[in-house]
Amino acid sequence: WTTDEQKIFLQEELVKFKRITGRKYTKNWAELFRRWFQRWPERNTILSGIPDSTTLTPEQTKTLAEAIHQRQLQIRRWMHWHAGAGANRAANAKTTKIIHDLLEPKKRTKQPSEVYANIYYKSRVQPEITKGMSIADVKQKIREVFETESPEIKEECQRISDQQKDEKKWGKTEARERAQSVDIDVDADDADETDPVTLHNNIQQLIDHIGRKTKMKFTILMGGLDPLDTEGGNMILTLHSGKTGDGHDFAEVYPKFDSEVVDAFGEFLS
């Protein structure tokens, strides 16, 4: 909102503002405003069509007084914000990092079936997934498909799971030295960290964490192209965090959540 000249004026005053800081600067506001309006009279901005020699009407006087007040508030906000801009940026960066870390998968030891899904999801699990399956159904299907695999693949997944446990116990380098290499055909491109199960779990973890910290409750609707649907259909995920005193989330409290809210969101996606 400032011109280049006005910005330079405020930046010069900002040095003094930072040096004095806080309440101690209070007595300096009047002098700052005097010098500002001496150089840039508010009347020339808000009532530019009225000559300085013309006496203002009561209504015009009121308008000018309000404009001066708003300009003073604007200057105050500018000074305070820029005085703390470095701290604001640092806080924003910290917040961004926290959210990023929360969205990353938890570094926990995966069960053999989870290792299997991470490696073979696209080639062996996805063909068994049908449209409309819930997250719980997908997890169950992963376990079922894993149980039908060959002993070699099961042993490999178990070995990787055990290695993760060893890495926690002895450290990554020593654990890898302990792990025996098994010659098995693993398609690395199959690993998919953005499958619906992972996405759902990561966001659920995020809102649960925020809920614990703030006591806030969440209901999230998200949707888009379904990676499991070869025909290019949409998928919708619903997440809830926080419950009533008797243990119900929003979808349970509002019986028409699926028929009204979710269906309306589905129409929005189409």
Domain boundaries, the chain: 4-83, 112-190, 196-269
| Residue ranges in the chain modelled with pLDDT below 70 | 21-23, 84-109, 167-198, 226-232
- The SS3 assignment for 103 reads helix
The per-residue b/e assignment along 188-219, b for 16 or more CB within 10 angstroms, e otherwise, is eebebeebbbbbbbbbbbbbbebeeeeeeebb
How many Cβ atoms sit within 10 Å of the Cβ of residue 227? Answer: 16
Q: Closest Cα to residue 238, out of 215, 264, 212?
A: 264
In this prediction the pTM is 0.36
Contact at 8 Å (CB) between 14 and 75? no
Contact 207, 241 (CB under 8 A): yes
- Give me the pLDDT at residue 218, please: 94
Please give the C-alpha separations between residue 65 and each of 42, 68, 87, in angstroms, as whole numbers: 9, 5, 34
Q: Is 119 exposed, middle or buried (0-12, 13-18, 19+ CB in 10 A)?
A: buried
Residues with Cβ within 8 Å of 218's Cβ and at least 6 positions away in sequence, in order, are 207, 210, 211, 239, 240, 241, 242
Distance CA 118, CA 189 (A): 10
Q: Tell me how far apart the alpha carbons of residues 199 and 138 are, in angstroms, rounded to a whole number.
A: 13
Quote the pLDDT of residue 95: 57
